[in-house]
Amino acid sequence: MADNQRVVIIGGGLAGLSATMKLCELGIPVDLISLTQVKRSHSVCAQGGINSCNEQTRQLGDSEWKHFDDTVYGGDFLQQQPPVKEMAYWAPKVIDLMDRLGVTFNRTFEGYLDRRRFGGTLYKRTAFAGATTGQQLLYALDEQVRRWETQGMVRKFEFWDFLGPVLDEEGRCVGAVAQDLVTMEIHAFPAAATIVASGGCGLIFGKSTMSVFCNGSAVSRCFQVGAKYGNPEFIQVHPTAIPGSDKLRLMSESARGEGGRVWVPRTPQDPRPPKQIPESERYYFLEERYPQYGNLVPRDIATREIFNICVNEGLSVEKGRMAVYLDLTHIPREELDRKLGGILEIYEKFQGVDPREQPMKIFPAVHYSMGGLWVDFAKSSDGGLQAGDPANQRTNIEGLYAIGECDYQYHGANRLGANSLLSCIFSGLFVGPCIQTYIKQSGGAAVTRTPSTLFDAAVSAQQKRHEDLLNCRGGENPYLLHQELGDVMTRAATVVRHNDQLDSAYAKVEELQQRAARASISDTGSWTNQNVVFTKALQDMFPVAKAILRGARLRDECRGAHYKPEFAMPSLTETDPEARRREAEQWCDRFEENNRRYLKSTIARWNGTDPDISYEDVDTSLIPPRPRLYGLVGAEIIEQVWRERQAKRKEQVATAGQ
């Protein structure tokens, strides 16, 4: 455990903790930096569960490959496929490990793991611990890390704010600078490798389902010194959240997984209590429009449908506030308590209504960032990842790695429910041996050979930023600016996006950014100054906000969570079989043309004032892209045309190969 091997990890959620414990097991000491006690990280909020192919689904025809396929299809083919494949094949092992670590997964009577169904799949793949699966998983990892802490392998720096990576002359990352949020002291952490595992950036949207720590600042600070940011515009809006004045609280997809039904009264704003509205006067719009998946269509689709039914069709259950019913009242109370207790308590506690008796009122909310720091991967001969290769999870800055929600590579244009916990734990475990190899190759040079003046300079640069902020008297209130930013972003860049709105939002964000540079700090003290820490985080939200807006502006198509109505693929309208067939052919032509242009990763690079956008190819070598046809009119014929084309193409490849 030589100190020149020490790794710094930013963030103690599922990804950061699983990387920490894996590195410790490999004999590599870790400094763990977190904005809060790691046990309080945002991963605790994950409710529904964690996916893997399992013995029961296998007997129904499921396989790791199908899990991989569902993930890629659900993500609209925007993922790099090798890492996703590796993840799907690791999934059963990840769950086995978590099971061994003592996670209190729900059980069948015989004592096996119980599973539930989640969105975007037809199999019951999801293992769960009540409705607090994320919390349970995080605690298991937290406990393991505490175990290593008692053995001196981990030093925790809780209540520390990561201020940025330290780069040497060659552009390698040789550590990090962070600030103690209690004493406000700034220190450098030399590191053989630095891993960012800082989660999402929901706070950019003001209110979201995310915790207050998820401000995206860590990622932004890497972005601003040259790390590439991939797919910024892909922000998942969760279909079901409980509207609140401080936060939009998540109502897990598991509520639908356990049989919850989404509906609105057919009469707009029907004044009757929901239980008195007869079945015939209820509009179960998801079930009617998507008979195969019903209430469990992928999240982007459910979100748009709920948004659409309230905004365009005017069927919101309340006047003046948008919401639809999520109904569990047909399920026995005892079963609800056993499987969904945690989330139903949340609803009851914050809304004062018992969801076992009354349908819940829910509306979509910003939930997850599919995009994040661009990371590399090393493809293996079987199309997965090369284990232990130092390229895996590495950003474009040598020595700087990203894992978990803050990397961009697992969820493409839309994340499937219960895949995030998997991607976080998987990437954390998988990166361990890769870092080990990197340290072996570099010999810990970052720590031993970097002159201390470099770290001193990095610290004093941050010290200067801190003091300049304390002395700033520009008159702007950072909290109000944050509200404005949230409003702009929520209006322009969530469920439905329009180019003109994105343009004006960008101008507005630019204006807010300049005003934020003139923020007045009401607390000028040097002890536990949350005011200045918040302001710094706010200022660092703008680069990411701009990347989101610009990425969205330049992507003139619909893909997963990114939806622009002008560019939506139409349903088929012809009724005559032949005409319909021709229409389907045209549809497929357009689809292929669109993929040629836009089936690419958006890559943002910060030029000092704005993000520059470029595009990179996506590795779709394992599963060729196909139309995502959930609920589209004419889906059958399009599918048929598409299958024929694919078959023909295969044949051509085969003959060319002979």
Partner 1 sequence: MSAPTPANPSSPAHPTKVNVRVLRQDGPGQPAYWERHQVDYEENMNVISVLQKIAAQAQTVDGKKVAPVAWECGCLEEVCGSCTMVINGRVRQSCSALVDSLLAENATEIELRPMEKYPVIRDLVVDRSRLFHALKRLQAWVPVDTYGHLGPGPRINRPQQEEMYPLSKCMSCGCCMDACPQYQKIELQRRPGESDEQYQRRKEAAYEQGFVGAAPISQVVLFNSHPTGKSIADGRLDALTETGGIQVCGNAQNCVAVCPKDIPLTKSIARAGRAATLHSIKRFLEK
Tally of residues, the chain:
658
Taking CB under 8 A as the criterion, the residue among 22, 67, 115, 299 binding partner 1 is: 22
Interface residues for partner 1 in 366-425 (CB under 8 A)?
Answer: none
Instruction: Determine if 245 is a binding residue for partner 1 (CB under 8 A).
Output: yes
For partner 1, give the closer residue by CB, 41 or 494: 41
Structure tokens at 561: 């969570």
To partner 1, the closest distance from the beta carbon of 641 in angstroms equals 43
CA distances from 184 to 23, 465, 531 (A): 29, 13, 12
| Cβ closest to partner 1, residue 55 vs residue 593 | 55
Nearer to partner 1 (CB atom), residue 142 or residue 557: 142
Q: How far is the CB of 355 from partner 1 (least distance, A)?
A: 15
Shortest Å distance, C-beta 168 to partner 1: 27
Q: Of 106-114, 553-561, 596-604, 616-624, which segment contacts partner 1 by CB under 8 A?
A: 106-114
Inter-residue contact 6 to 31 (CB < 8 Å): yes
Cβ distance to partner 1 smaller for residue 55 or 651: 55
Neighbours of 381 (CB within 10 A): 6
Subset of 192-231 contacting partner 1 (CB under 8 A): 211-213
Looking only at residues 340 through 369 of this chain, which bind partner 1 when binding is defined by CB under 8 A? 342, 346, 349-352
Scanning 19-27, 403-411, 451-459, 606-614 for contacts with partner 1 by CB under 8 A, the matching segment is 19-27
- Least Cα distance to 457 among 167, 250, 182 occurs for 167
| Contact between 108 and partner 1 per CB under 8 A | yes
* Piece of the chain touching partner 1 by CB under 8 A; list 8-16, 42-50, 545-553, 577-585: 42-50
CB of 263 closer than 8 Å to CB of 58 = no
Given candidates 112, 474, 511, 647, which one binds partner 1 under the rule CB under 8 A?
112
In angstroms, the CA 228 to CA 373 distance is 6
Of the candidate residues 73, 77, 123, 139, the single one contacting partner 1 (CB under 8 A): 139
Judged by CB under 8 A, which of 58, 65, 122, 149 binds partner 1? 149
Q: How far apart are CA 149 and CA 153, in angstroms?
A: 6
Q: How many CB atoms lie within 10 A of CB 55?
A: 11
Q: What span, in angstroms and rounded, lies between the C-alpha atoms of 56 and 47?
A: 22
Question: What element of type H or E holds 167?
Answer: strand 160-167
Residue 473 within binding range of partner 1, rule CB under 8 A:
no
**Residue 334 near partner 1 by CB under 8 A:** no
Q: Binding to partner 1 (CB under 8 A): which residues in 430-459?
A: none
- In the region spanning residues 158 to 187, those forming contacts with partner 1, defined by CB under 8 A, are 182
CA 76/CA 435 separation, integer angstroms: 31
3-state secondary structure 301-322: HHHHHHHHHHHCCCCCCCCCCC
CB of 264 to partner 1, least distance (A): 22
Beta strands in 168-232 (DSSP E): 173-180, 186-190, 193-196, 229-230
Contact 374, 380 (CB under 8 A): no
Is 15 a binding residue for partner 1 by CB under 8 A? The answer is no
Q: Is 104 in the site for partner 1 (CB under 8 A)?
A: yes
Q: Give the nearest distance from C-beta 609 to partner 1 in angstroms.
A: 28
Residue 53 binds partner 1 (CB under 8 A): no
Q: Give yes or no for a contact between 89 and 68, defined as CB atoms under 8 angstroms apart.
A: yes
Q: Would you count residue 254 as binding partner 1 (CB under 8 A)?
A: no
The verdict on 477 binding partner 1 (CB under 8 A) reads: yes
Single out the residue of 490, 469, 486 nearest to residue 534, CA to CA.
469
Q: Give the residue with the Cβ less far from partner 1, 245 or 607.
A: 245
CB 165 within 8 A of CB 225: yes
- 353-380 burial, b for 16+ CB within 10 Å, e for fewer? eebbebbbbbbbbbbbbbbbbbbbbbbe
Q: Does 129 bind partner 1 (CB under 8 A)?
A: yes
Q: Which one of residues 487, 510, 523, 574 is an interface residue with partner 1 (CB under 8 A)?
A: 523
Asked whether position 464 contacts partner 1 by CB under 8 A, the answer is no
Tokens of 575: 């009724």
- Considering only 15, 17, 21, 613, the residue that binds partner 1 (CB under 8 A) is 21
Quick note: the x/- pattern for partner 1 over 272-291, rule CB under 8 A, is --------------------
Is residue 136 at the binding interface for partner 1, with CB under 8 A as the rule? yes
Q: Is 105 in the site for partner 1 (CB under 8 A)?
A: yes
Whose Cβ is closer to partner 1: residue 291's or residue 352's?
A: 352
Q: Between 111 and 271, name the residue whose CB sits nearer to partner 1.
A: 111
How far apart, in Å, do the first and last CA atoms of the chain sit? 55
| Catalytic residue set | 299
Q: Which stretch binds partner 1 (CB under 8 A): 66-74, 129-137, 451-459, 628-636?
A: 129-137
Residue 536-575 contact track with partner 1, rule CB under 8 A, x = bound: ----------------------------------------
Residue of 1, 2, 27, 96 that binds partner 1 (CB under 8 A): 96
Contact of 16 with 195, CB cutoff 8 Å: yes
Residue 286, CA distances (Å) to 85, 275, 295, 532 in order: 30, 19, 5, 46
10 Å CB burial of residue 396 (0-12, 13-18, 19+) is: middle
Query: Which strand (E) or helix (H) includes residue 584?
Result: helix 577-598
Size of the site for partner 1 (CB under 8 A): 72
Q: Residue 151 Cβ, how far from partner 1 at the closest point, in Å?
A: 11
φ, ψ dihedrals at 66, nearest 5°: -65, -35
CB 370 within 8 A of CB 560: yes
Single residue of 314, 333, 467, 479 touching partner 1 by CB under 8 A: 479
Segment contacting partner 1 by CB under 8 A, of 20-28, 218-226, 410-418, 502-510: 20-28
As measured in angstroms, the least distance from the Cβ of 477 to partner 1 is 6
Locate 57 and state its tokens. Answer: 């689904």
CB of 271 to partner 1, least distance (A): 20
DSSP-derived secondary structure for 225-242: TT--EE-TT-EEEEEEEE
CA–CA dist 167, 535 (Å, integer): 24
Among 12, 30, 42, 412, binds partner 1 (CB under 8 A): 42
Q: Report if residue 135 touches partner 1, rule: CB under 8 A.
A: yes
